[in-house]
Amino acid sequence: DKLGIPDDRGYITFIDPGRDNMGITFKHIKYENLFIYLFSSFLVFVMSNVIGSLISAATDTKKVRDLQSNIISTSNASEITTDHGVKISDTDTWLKVTNSQGTGPSLLEDQIAREKIHRFDHERIPERVVHARGAGAHGYFKVFDDSAKKYTFAPVLTDPSRTTPIFIRFSTVQGSRGSADTVRDVRGFAMKFYTEEGNWDLVGNDIPVFFIQDAIKFPDIIHAVKPEPKNEIPQGQSAHNNFWDFVSLQPESAHMVMWVMSDRGIPRSYRMMQGFGVNTYTLINEEGKRVFVKFHMTPELGVWSLMWDEALKIGGQDPDFHRRDLQEAIDNGVYPKWAFGIQVIEEQDEHKFDFDILDATKIWPENLVPVQPIGEFVLNRMVDEYFPEVEQVAFCTSHVVPGIGFSDDPLLQGRNFSYFDTQITRLGINWEQLPINRPICPVMNHHRDGKMQHRITTGLNYWPNRDGVGHPVHPSNGGFKEYAQRMEGIKQRARGKKFQEHYNQAQLFYNSLSQIEKNHLASAITFELSHCDDHRVYEAYTKLLNNVDFDLAKRVATSVNGVVPDKPAKNNNDQTAPHLSQLDFAPKTPIIATRRIAILVAEGFNLTEVLAVRAALAAAKATTWIIGPRRASVQSSGGGKGLVADYHYEGQRSTAFDAIYIPSGAEHAKSLMANGRAIHWVREAFGHCKAIGAIGEGVNFLDAAINLPEVQYNRSADSDEVVSSYGVVTVGKYSPSSAVTDALTITRGP
Ligand code: HDE
């Protein structure tokens, strides 16, 4: 009723159509500023369209264009045919010999029905032996400058004029293809760079170390963690006897176990995870000099995790939580972004450290070897079809490009054999010809035939040949050349001397965590060992834990009937290192972009206020969802038309959201108070440490639901002062002042 009429303070409210994808925004600004506002809106409109077209240019990478030639749309070819191209007149009825009733035996002669069933029977391929469940997206990679030139001549890492198309597949390790996303596990972070010099696969994880030092142990650790062989239980979990049995007998896993049991094991989003190449690789520069390198990916949004209780619940409520989250962010144009960094150790410094730099159970602490940011990458395009892209993408650690090489890291050496091999079982020998895997640069060689050969190559198929075709390329013209490494040694099965020490860095990691993270870690190990019923297992692990930390071991052992130590098994020298605690990654200015905010409403809520808060949140690129008593129109105060709820209270749980906002409105607050599910909504969110905001009568509801004396509220109906305690932000009266909207756009804390 006040639209377009300046109020007594000279403010005017008007509808601003289409500034964002919510369609309508209410604006409330000073009358005399109206012209400036509209002019600036026009500029924003023009600029966003210019930026929009630049973004779509970046989405359209050379790899995306390459894939287009394989895309067939069902919408522009509406007629159905057999695989051999004959049009089909009936897809619903098998050819039969019918009696007078129209029934009778089906005929094998029906080649159309046979083809349909055959094709269906063979739709599945073996899932990955590990990392079976995953999600993937396209994007691009760019370096900031040529600062890495002193280490490598690889243009992908040194040429700032290049935009390299990438594809990333995130995954869990233990569960099968249909398992839940939010289980406690390591996450795969596998990157394919489609460079002009060939594909470079950086197959990493969200944790910088690994369970084992030597690749020959991989089948053992995986057999131990996977569901137990006798009954295929448990799915998507390491909380069972066999896993803890193995790690108690394999102390080199102690460091990695600390990481997986920390909050890193239950990320909030793939977009909020660090990535690590884990293994030690090498870089070679134009002078032929070699350095050791580790690769780091650091998310712009910070490194955030779920609470364990949330993770458990989401596992049932939305098993696709992380997959959906990636899709939602990309669909909303808030593209996930990471900085790309390298840690470098000169060859002559290889033995300078008290750990072996080739041991994948060790990090290179950043106080000793800082990460140098050299570039960034963005994911900006979801796949067109899951199977041909995410399921058929195949990574190989052995795929490097000139300027990048391997090291003698014994885990990497074994991986370099395993990945190619496993793709043959999964996809067949010609897997590199699949659209998602084929390089964007020319491929030419004398490999031939094999199942599902797609190329038709004319000419000679061996080298040397009389035509001189398909010839090797000199390194000065881009031919791959291995680094000439001096070698001398004894052939034996052995591990390096420094590979024998297993607890220093497990301790370093634990020491570097905040108290909250330590508590979570202790609870996680307690949960896991509580699920082991063989006393030999939980006794052995609690005993081992005392080598990491005395207090931790005591705490866990007491809870799980383990071996409670009376003194530390190993001195704790209290050493810490930067960037091991997730808190070190919190963005300096909190970012609310892509966070999901639930607006809890009942009949009689304050619409103007909800629209204003919603617009403020949308401007900060958060998404808002109306949760109401029914998924239909919910009236606003004074019987207004209100809004259509996105979900019924029962249709979504608080676990799917990062924060909740409860608007004012007397009737609405009363109804919420009388609704057990609504009360559960905010209690659960509070228990999960989420930000909760309330205004006016919404505060009364909040107070009734979270009846804790420690939480302070602003209940004063005429005060717009923001009171914030325990993540609960309240204000008596809504005003369009920035303090209120700023307060409501806080992200949740750690
Ligand atoms: Fe893997 N790993 N791995 N792995 N790994 C596979 O390859 C293997 C290891 C990682 O999204 C398999 O294509 C061995 C470390 C990711 O498609 C297989 C060893 C790291 C993915 C394989 C390791 C990883 C895989 C199964 C011990 C972090 C998923 C399917 C030496 C740096 C890639 C496949 C995707 C997948 C073998 C250890 C990461 C069997 C032998 C360490 C992200 O080849």
Q: Mind listing the pLDDT tens digit for each residue in 588-631?
A: 888 899 999 999 999 999 999 999 999 989 998 999 999 999 99
CA-based R_g, the chain, Å: 30
**Using CA atoms, how far apart are residues 427 and 127, in angstroms rounded to an integer?**
10
- Which H, E and C letters describe 461-489, residue by residue? CCCCCCCCCCCCCCHHHCCCCCCCCCCCC
Residue of minimum CA distance from atom 19 in ligand 1: 415
**Using CA atoms, how far apart are residues 521 and 225, in angstroms rounded to an integer?**
19
Rounded-to-10 torsion of CA 504, 531, 317, 332: 10
Which region holds residue 500: left if phi is over 0, alpha if psi is between -120 and 50, else beta? alpha
Residue of minimum CA distance from atom 20 in ligand 1: 204
Q: Does residue 19 surpass a pLDDT of 60?
A: no
Q: Does residue 16 surpass a pLDDT of 70?
A: no
- CA nearest neighbour of 184 among 271, 302, 267: 267
Q: Does ligand 1 come within 6 angstroms of the Cβ of 294? A: no
Q: Does ligand 1 come within 6 angstroms of the Cβ of 200? A: no
Distance from the CA of 235 to the center of ligand 1, in angstroms?
19
pLDDT digits (tens, 9 = 90+) for 191-220: 999 999 999 999 999 999 999 999 999 999
Helix axes 241-249 and 218-225, enclosed angle (nearest 10): 150
Residues constituting the chain: 750
Q: Which helix (H) or strand (E) holds 188?
A: strand 187-195
Contacts of 334 (CB under 8 A, 6+ apart): 593, 594, 621
Distance from the CA of 367 to the center of ligand 1, in angstroms?
29
Contacts of 92 (CB under 8 A, 6+ apart): none
pLDDT, residue 43, reads 60
Mean pLDDT of 459-479: 96
- Any idea which residues carry the catalytic annotation? 131, 205
Q: Does ligand 1 come within 6 angstroms of the Cβ of 395? A: yes
Residue 2 in tokens = 């006040």
Q: Is the dihedral of CA 553, 558, 564, 565 positive or negative?
A: positive
pLDDT, residue 748, reads 40
Residue of minimum CA distance from atom 28 in ligand 1: 204
**Using CA atoms, how far apart are residues 192 and 128, in angstroms rounded to an integer?**
17
Distance from the CA of 238 to the center of ligand 1, in angstroms?
18
Question: 270 near 322, Cβ under 8 Å?
Answer: yes
Q: Does ligand 1 come within 6 angstroms of the Cβ of 128? A: yes
Atom of ligand 1 nearest to the CA of 210: 42
Q: Does residue 42 surpass a pLDDT of 90?
A: no
Strands 337-346 and 372-382: antiparallel
Q: Does ligand 1 come within 6 angstroms of the Cβ of 190? A: yes
- The distance in angstroms from the start CA to the end CA of the chain is 43
Q: Does ligand 1 come within 6 angstroms of the Cβ of 64? A: no
**Alpha helices, DSSP H only, in 122-253?**
155-158, 218-225, 241-249
More confident residue, 118 or 76: 118
Q: Does residue 318 surpass a pLDDT of 50?
A: yes
- CA nearest neighbour of 741 among 611, 551, 652: 611
**Using CA atoms, how far apart are residues 290 and 284, in angstroms rounded to an integer?**
4
Atom of ligand 1 nearest to the CA of 136: 11
Best residue among 127, 130, 205, 407 to mutate for probing ligand 1, ranked by most atoms within 8 Å of CB: 130
Long-range contacts at 558-567 (CB < 8 A, ≥ 24 apart): 559/526, 559/530, 560/526, 560/529, 560/530, 561/535, 562/529, 562/538, 563/539
pLDDT, residue 715, reads 86
Query: What band does 741 get if pLDDT is binned at 50, 70 and 90?
Result: low
**Using CA atoms, how far apart are residues 368 and 292, in angstroms rounded to an integer?**
14
The residues facing 16 across adjacent strands are 25
Query: What band does 59 get if pLDDT is binned at 50, 70 and 90?
Result: confident
Q: Does residue 24 surpass a pLDDT of 50?
A: no
Q: Does residue 8 surpass a pLDDT of 80?
A: no
Q: Average the pLDDT over each of 35-44, 121-130, 258-267, 430-439 and give the range with the smallest value.
A: 35-44
- Side-chain-side CA neighbours of 269 within 13 Å: the count stands at 25
pLDDT, residue 428, reads 97
Atom of ligand 1 nearest to the CA of 218: 27
Q: Average the pLDDT over each of 103-107, 134-138, 559-563, 713-717 and give the range with the smallest value.
A: 713-717
**Using CA atoms, how far apart are residues 29 and 13, in angstroms rounded to an integer?**
7
**Which three-class secondary structure state does DSSP give residue 517?**
helix
Question: 54 near 163, Cβ under 8 Å?
Answer: no
pLDDT, residue 747, reads 43
Best residue among 127, 203, 411 to mutate for probing ligand 1, ranked by most atoms within 8 Å of CB: 203
Q: Does residue 323 surpass a pLDDT of 80?
A: yes
* Strand residue runs (E) in 18-124: 24-30
Distance from the CA of 400 to the center of ligand 1, in angstroms?
16
**Using CA atoms, how far apart are residues 500 and 355, in angstroms rounded to an integer?**
9
pLDDT, residue 583, reads 95
**Using CA atoms, how far apart are residues 412 and 404, in angstroms rounded to an integer?**
14
Distance from the CA of 127 to the center of ligand 1, in angstroms?
13
Strands 633-636 and 640-644: antiparallel
**Using CA atoms, how far apart are residues 541 and 253, in angstroms rounded to an integer?**
11
pLDDT, residue 75, reads 79
User: What percentage of residues in the chain have a pLDDT greater than 70?
Assistant: 90
Residue 284 in tokens = 């070679």
Residue of minimum CA distance from atom 23 in ligand 1: 415
DSSP summary character for residue 221: H
Question: 182 near 174, Cβ under 8 Å?
Answer: no
Query: What band does 750 get if pLDDT is binned at 50, 70 and 90?
Result: very low
DSSP summary character for residue 106: B
Distance from the CA of 208 to the center of ligand 1, in angstroms?
14
Q: Does ligand 1 come within 6 angstroms of the Cβ of 171? A: yes
**Alpha helices, DSSP H only, in 504-581?**
504-512, 515-530, 535-545, 550-560
Residue of minimum CA distance from atom 31 in ligand 1: 215
Q: Does residue 22 surpass a pLDDT of 70?
A: no
pLDDT, residue 717, reads 84
**Using CA atoms, how far apart are residues 673 and 707, in angstroms rounded to an integer?**
12
